Each structure stands twice: as C-alpha cells, then as structure tokens.
C-alpha cells in the first residue's frame, strides 16, 4: 500500500479506470484525505454497469457515494432482467434525476417499461448515446407521439439504438421533432419498417450517417421516394421483400459500408457489380448473408457452381478482393436451399443448418480466420460444414450429447461465457465435463430439461467460473418440477455453493428451502413452485399454484397483517429471519399469463 500511495495523482487516476466502481469506492474512499479527494472531486471516468450487481452493493453505492460522484459518471447501464429485478424502480426511489449527472453521455436500459424510461429521460440534455433493449414498449395512443418525440428532442443525442422491442405501439410516422445531432440510428425490433416510416425518420434526422434497420413491405410496389444523401453506412435486414434491395440501393449514392441480411432473395455477382458501379461507386465494404432458394432438385450442384462463378470475375477477386461462400443441401428428398455469404463472415451469430456441401471463392488458407467475428454459435445435433472454424465464441447453444466434430470446429473455449444446452440423453455426455474444463470464463449455464433427472445430472458437473444456472422446462401439458430428492442432490454440489443467480422450478416449499439454504452466494432468484397442497390438474395455472406461497411472502415481506394460510413453519421462519430482510421480491407474469416469483438479494 505504501508503494501504491507513492504514485503520482495522474497515474492513480489512470489506474482507477481499471477498477470496478463499487470495489474502487469501497477500497479507497475514506482511506485518507488524498484518495477521497481524488475519487470525489477529480476522477471523471466512472462507468456504472449494474448488470451483475448485488443488491447490497447497489444500496451501498446509491446511499453512500452516488450523489458525491455525479460529476464523474460518464456512462450508466441499468438492467431489469432476472439478475436485478426491480433495479430501476429502486434507483428511482433515491430521487435521482438525469440532469444531476452533468457529464453523463451514455445510458443503456434493459428490460424496463418504456414509459418509465421516457419519464426518466425528461432532462437528459447532455446525453449523446442512448440504448433501449428488450423493453416493454406498450404505450397508449395518446402517449406514443410524445414519447418518440422526446427522444428526438434530446439536443446532443448522436447515437440511438432500439433493439429487441416490439414496436406495435410506437409509430415513427408521428415524429414531429427534427434532430440535427442524430448521426447513428439502429432499429432492430419485432416489426420491420415500411418505406413511409423510413422517410419520416430520415426527414426528422437530416444528419443521419449510419442506419441499421429491418425493412418489411406488404406492398412490393412501394418505392423509396427520396434520396438518402447523408448515409455512408447502411445495415439492412430484409424480411418478406424480394425487390426492395435494388430499389433501396438506387437511393444511397454516398454509401461506403453496406451490410445485408436477407431471407427472401439473393443477387448474383453480376447483379451486384451493376448496382455498385452504377449507383454506389464509393462502396468500400460489402458484407451480406442471403438465402438461395427455389433450386431444382436435379441441377442444384450446377446452379450453385454457376452462381459462384459470377463472383470469380476480376471485379470481385482483383479489384475489391471480396470473397463469398455458399453452403447448400443437394439431397433430392430433403430441402433444396442454400446460404450465400461474404467472407470473412460479418455477423455476430452463426446458426448451423442441414447444409452438407460448401464452396467458396477465397484463398483456402484463410478459411480458418473467416469466422473470427462470430460470438454466438447455434448448433444442432451435428455439424455438417467443413472447414468452418470458430475461435472467439462467447455464447453457444447446442445439444447433449454434443454434436459430432464440435470440439474440432470450436478452436478455443477461452472466450465462452454462456452455454445453453438442450438435453436429449445426459447419459451419453461424458465429453461435456471435458468442455467445461476448458472454459475458464464460463459465467452462465442454461439447461432446457427433458425430465426430473436433469438436476441430478447438473449436480455432478464442475466449473469453477460458473455463477448463473437457469433451468427451463419444456412447455408441455405435463410440466414437471424438481422434487426434494433432486434438490437435496443439487444442494450438496459445488455448483450450488458457488452459484449467484438461479432460475429453477421445484415441487414444494421444502424443495425451495433445501436449495436456497445451501446457496450462500445467491444474489438473484427466479422461482417457480408447484403447490403440493393443490390437487394435480393438467394445465392448472401457476397463478393457482403460487397463490399460497405469495400470501406467505407478502405477509413476511412488508405486510403486518396475519393470514390464516400461514403454514409450513420452516418457510415462515426462514423468510422472517433472513430473506425478507435482505431481498427485493416481486410477482410477475410468466408463461401464458401464469405467475412466478423473483428475488434480488444480498
């Protein structure tokens, strides 16, 4: 510590940027006057990310420090998923307003109500970057225009991303505010944009340079009526359209970077060349992924060969050094389709298909580097394509037993942080532990379980870095729940002791206690419980199953009233002495309108 204190203030301020904010403030504030002054008055690079925060750390930060460092906070990420349920409402109870954070530039919201977000953004005049992700976008028809206009009214906003939100209640055609600051806009939601919507957005964003959007036209005769002269970067996802791409590209003369993801059509090399030369001559980067379909059964291999030959002309190989690959299935009985995409593969996720053949136009010695940008890999029961190599995957969704050639295709598991498994036969999965032994940074394991043996299977696994476990039952009429035997086995496992976030479905209150009392590091819980006191009825809703437990939770977590339904003394004692003192609890809509409980604790 003496050596650390000998560092110059400039060096200390630079080192502080590498610390987690909570850890930094706990360690150095009030240590001495010098460190306290540096952190409260001079450090100007606080990046607050509440994605994985303990409730006690959140409370500590809000109550002890946040008002003292508001001038140093430059980014804020607020999340409301199952790791931090209720966080935003808790944050608002402290009375924080956006205009209190004078240097705040970037805010990210995940899984909150859109109306609450808009209200919070009311005085965000200093914001330059805004992300709204997976949020409930329900708005009344009268509130919708005000909400979207309020975002466009932020005077310094340059980057806005709206992703994974269903936009049925948000009408961009009702934009009435012109933003002269907005330069980058990404709208990737449950509904695509029409040309009329796109025109309105562009008219209200005259300085727009980067656009990422999904286009969905129900009238294919619709044309883009304006020229988008300011756009230099365009990312297009095409849903149900066939001719929209050509029409769109006729109206972006200054485009330099183009990315296209199309499930409805493809262009051959000659068609691409004609469009680029005539309409977008400034283009330097081209990336696409397109579906090739309506192939004849007896000529599919020749059709693919002819298609690839159109990309082997000098325009592609010499002038631009752009390469493509096509994967297809030539099974006469099976599906006749293919996927055509540029190399290196430009998209974040890659989904394995049933395609069994592959050819490409680029150098063979570079194929191992062609998928280095893929972070999410979705693999079925087998990997057919070779050579395909992934070296930087962060998320994998696959089956147990693991697909053939899986370990030879994924070159490294060092970057893997999330693994989702669909269990078909856990008794044939000895290689799964071998994979876990190679994942030093694996944080999350999700299991879609087939039956009650899943929990006992997982209890035998080992992974020192694992902190989140999610069990998802298959949604069948006879949804099963883990019983006491399963839960006791899990409670004795190393994973239970190290787990911090758990989502699980159990049969009884006693089963819940067996699991939770064995988890000293638990900070967030989503709990589905089948009430054994109710007679078993097929299709019985979770509302009925949960009602008794919720009355008990409510009685012990803020209500002073007594209930005649309070039984199971162990549960009540545990709630009174432990859980209710340190946890935020809620009850929310679950599958098909059913209920489940969420806890966010210390």
- The residue that leads in pLDDT, 542 or 472, is 472
Could you tell me if residue 481 is inside a domain?
yes
At 386 the pLDDT is: 62
Q: How far apart are CA 451 and CA 274, in angstroms?
A: 56
Would you say residue 174 lies in a domain? no
192 occurs within a structural domain: no
Using alpha carbons only, how large is the chain's radius of gyration in Å? 27
Q: Are 509 and 581 in contact (CB under 8 A)?
A: no
Query: Tokens in use for 38?
Result: 């540096």
- Pairing of the two strands 285-292 and 338-343: antiparallel
Query: Which of 230 and 21 is assigned the larger pLDDT?
Result: 230
Q: Which of 55-59, 195-199, 281-285, 592-596 has the lowest mean pLDDT?
A: 592-596
Token pair, residue 67, equals: 């008002």
Give me the pLDDT at residue 547, please.
39
Q: What percent of the chain has pLDDT over 70?
A: 79
Most confident of 39-43, 319-323, 585-589: 319-323
**What are phi and psi for residue 582, nearest 5 degrees?**
-125, 5
99 neighbors 127 (Cβ within 8 angstroms): no
Q: What is the mean pLDDT of residues 495-504?
A: 93
Q: Per DSSP, what are the bridge partners of residue 528?
A: 505
Task: Please answer whether residues 455 and 430 qualify as being in contact, where contact means their C-beta atoms are separated by less than 8 angstroms.
Answer: no
Helix (H, G, I), strand (E, B) or coil at 426: helix
Mean pLDDT value across residues 525-546: 49
Comparing 48-57, 264-273, 326-335, 373-382, the range with the smallest average pLDDT is 326-335
Which is higher by pLDDT, 237 or 450? 237
Classified as helix, coil or strand, 410 is strand
Mean pLDDT confidence for 146-151? 84
Q: What was the pLDDT predicted at 151?
A: 92
Calculate the average pLDDT of the chain. Answer: 81
Q: Which phi and psi (to 5°) does residue 223 adopt?
A: -120, 155
Residue 280's pLDDT band (boundaries 50, 70, 90)?
very high
Give residue 563's pLDDT: 29
Report pLDDT for 565: 36
Statement: residue 118 has pLDDT above 50:
yes
**Measured between alpha carbons, how far is residue 127 from residues 14, 69, 226 in Å?**
24, 17, 30
Position 324 scores a pLDDT of: 96
Q: Is residue 408 assigned to a domain?
A: no
> Is the pLDDT assigned to residue 125 strictly greater than 70?
yes
* Residue 102: inside a domain: no
Q: Tell me which of 143 and 552 has the higher pLDDT.
A: 143
Q: Which token pair is 187?
A: 């709208």
Residue (of 213, 211, 210) closest to 193 by Cα position: 213
Is the pLDDT higher at 41 or at 595? Answer: 41
pLDDT above 80: residue 138:
no
Highest mean pLDDT among 86-100, 166-180, 277-291, 341-355: 277-291
Identify the three-state secondary structure at position 257.
strand
- 9 or 386, which is more confident? 9
The one-character DSSP state at 506 is E
Task: Provide the pLDDT for residue 27.
Answer: 87
Predicted local confidence at residue 590, as pLDDT: 43
Average pLDDT over residues 503-522: 83
Spatial distance between the Cα atoms of 571 and 552, rounded to a whole number of angstroms? 9
**Would you state the pLDDT for residue 137?**
65
> What range does the domain containing 474 cover?
443-602
Of 393, 493, 471, give the one whose Cα is nearest residue 438: 393
Give the mean model confidence (pLDDT) for residues 210-222: 84
User: What does the block give as tokens for 142?
Assistant: 């009268």
Residue 367 belongs to some domain of the structure: no
For range 478-506, the mean pLDDT: 87
Q: What average pLDDT does this structure show over 235-261? A: 89
Q: Which residue would you say has higher pLDDT here, 99 or 578?
A: 99
pLDDT over 90 (residue 10):
yes
Residue with tokens 């899986």: 406
CB 481 within 8 A of CB 530: yes
Mean pLDDT, residues 423-452: 82
Residue 601 Ramachandran class (φ > 0 left, ψ -120 to 50 alpha, else beta): beta
* pLDDT confidence tier of residue 508, bands split at 50, 70 and 90: confident
pLDDT band at 240 (very low <50, low <70, confident <90, very high): low
- Tell me which of 183-197, 252-266, 426-440 is least confident: 426-440
pLDDT at 570: 52
Q: Note if the bond before 344 is cis, omega within 30 degrees.
A: yes
Question: Which of 50-54, 315-319, 360-364 has the lowest average pLDDT?
Answer: 360-364
pLDDT in tens, 343-382: 999 999 998 776 778 899 988 766 767 888 999 998 876 6
- Segment holding 314, helix H or strand E: helix 314-314
Q: What are 283-316's pLDDT values in tens digits?
A: 999 999 998 876 676 788 888 999 999 999 999 9
440 has a pLDDT exceeding 70? yes
Quote the tokens at residue 100.
């209190």
Least confident of 47-51, 478-482, 532-536: 532-536
Instruction: Find residue 599's DSSP bridge partners.
Output: 525, 585
pTM of the model: 0.86
Please give the C-alpha separations between residue 583 and each of 426, 496, 505, 513, in angstroms, as whole numbers.
35, 19, 19, 15
State the Cα angle at 329 between 326 and 331, rounded to 5°.
155
Considering Cα of 48, then 53, then 55, then 57, what sign does the dihedral take? negative
Instruction: Answer whether 281's CB lies under 8 Å from 309's CB.
Output: no
Order across the sheet with 524-529: list the strands.
Answer: 349-351, 376-378, 395-400, 418-423, 444-449, 468-473, 501-506, 524-529, 595-600, 584-589
Query: Are the C-beta atoms of 327 and 358 separated by less than 8 Å?
Result: yes
CA distance 435 to 440: 10
For residue 45, is it within any domain? Answer: no
Residue in 539, 528, 443, 523 with CA at minimum distance from that of residue 487: 528
The tokens for 103 are 């240097």
Query: Residue 311: its pLDDT value, please?
Result: 98
Could you tell me how many residues make up the chain? 602
Q: Residue 404's beta-bridge partner residues?
A: 382
Q: Chain-centre distance of CA 434, in angstroms?
A: 27
Residue 522 within a domain: yes
In 149-256, at which residue ranges do the beta strands (DSSP E only) sit? 159-163, 184-188, 210-215, 233-238
**What is the per-residue pLDDT across 553-599, written as a single tens digit (0 to 9) for each?**
433 333 333 323 334 445 445 544 555 455 555 544 444 334 456 77
**Per the structure, how many domains does the chain have?**
1
DSSP letters, 429-455, are -HHHHHHHTT-TT--EEEEEESSTHHH
């Amino acid at each position: 510590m003496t050596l650390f204190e000998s560092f110059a203030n400039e060096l200390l301020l630079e080192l502080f940027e590498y610390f987690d904010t909570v850890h930094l403030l706990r360690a150095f504030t009030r240590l001495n006057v010098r460190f306290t002054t540096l952190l409260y008055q001079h450090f100007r690079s606080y990046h607050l990310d509440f994605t994985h925060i303990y409730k006690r750390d959140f409370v500590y930060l809000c109550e002890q420090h946040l008002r003292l460092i508001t001038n140093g906070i430059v980014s804020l990420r607020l999340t409301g998923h199952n790791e931090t349920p209720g966080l935003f409402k808790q944050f608002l109870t402290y009375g924080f307003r956006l205009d209190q954070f004078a240097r705040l530039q970037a805010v990210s919201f995940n899984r909150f109500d859109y109306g609450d977000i808009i209200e919070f953004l009311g005085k965000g005049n200093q914001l330059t970057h805004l992300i709204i992700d997976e949020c409930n976008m329900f708005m009344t028809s009268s509130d919708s225009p005000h909400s979207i206009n309020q975002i466009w009214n932020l005077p310094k906003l340059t980057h806005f991303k709206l992703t994974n939100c269903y936009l049925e209640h948000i009408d961009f055609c009702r934009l009435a505010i012109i933003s002269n600051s907005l330069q980058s806009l990404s709208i990737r939601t449950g509904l695509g944009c029409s040309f009329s919507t796109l025109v309105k957005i562009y008219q209200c964003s005259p300085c727009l340079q980067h656009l990422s959007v999904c286009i969905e036209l129900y009238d294919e005769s619709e044309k883009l009526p304006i020229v988008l002269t300011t756009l230099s970067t365009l990312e297009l996802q095409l849903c149900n359209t066939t001719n929209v791409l050509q029409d769109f590209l006729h109206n972006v003369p200054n485009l330099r970077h183009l990315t296209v993801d199309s499930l409805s059509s493809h262009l051959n090399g000659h068609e691409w060349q004609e469009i680029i030369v005539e309409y977008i001559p400034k283009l330097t980067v081209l990336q696409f992924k397109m579906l090739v379909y309506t192939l004849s059964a007896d000529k599919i291999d020749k059709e693919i060969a002819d298609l690839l030959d159109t990309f082997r002309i000098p325009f592609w190989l010499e002038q631009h050094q752009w390469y493509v690959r096509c994967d297809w299935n030539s099974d006469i009985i099976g599906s006749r389709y293919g996927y055509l995409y540029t190399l290196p593969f430009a998209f974040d996720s890659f989904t394995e298909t049933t395609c069994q053949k592959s050819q490409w136009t680029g150098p063979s010695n570079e194929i191992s580097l062609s998928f280095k940008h893929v972070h999410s890999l979705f693999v079925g029961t087998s990997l057919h394509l070779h050579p395909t190599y992934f070296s930087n995957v962060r998320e994998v969704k696959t089956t147990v037993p693991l697909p053939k050639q899986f370990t030879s295709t994924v070159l490294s598991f060092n970057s893997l942080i999330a693994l989702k498994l669909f269990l078909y036969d856990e008794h044939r999965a000895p290689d799964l532990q071998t994979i876990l032994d190679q994942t030093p940074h694996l944080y999350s394991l999700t299991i879609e379980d087939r039956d009650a043996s899943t929990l006992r299977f997982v209890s035998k696994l080992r992974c020192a870095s694992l902190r989140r476990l999610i069990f998802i039952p298959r949604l069948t009429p006879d949804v099963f729940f883990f019983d006491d035997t399963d839960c006791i086995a899990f409670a004795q496992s190393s994973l239970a002791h190290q787990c911090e976030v758990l989502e699980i479905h159990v049969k009884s209150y006693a089963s819940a206690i067996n699991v939770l009392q064995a988890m000293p590091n638990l900070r967030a819980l989503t709990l589905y419980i089948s009430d054994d006191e109710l007679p078993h009825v097929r299709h019985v809703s979770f509302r009925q199953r949960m009602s008794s437990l919720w009355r008990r939770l409510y009685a012990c977590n803020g209500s002073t009233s007594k209930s005649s339904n309070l039984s199971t003394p162990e549960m009540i004692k545990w709630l009174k002495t432990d859980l209710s003192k340190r946890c935020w609890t809620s009850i929310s809509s679950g599958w098909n309108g059913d209920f489940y409980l969420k806890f966010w604790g210390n």
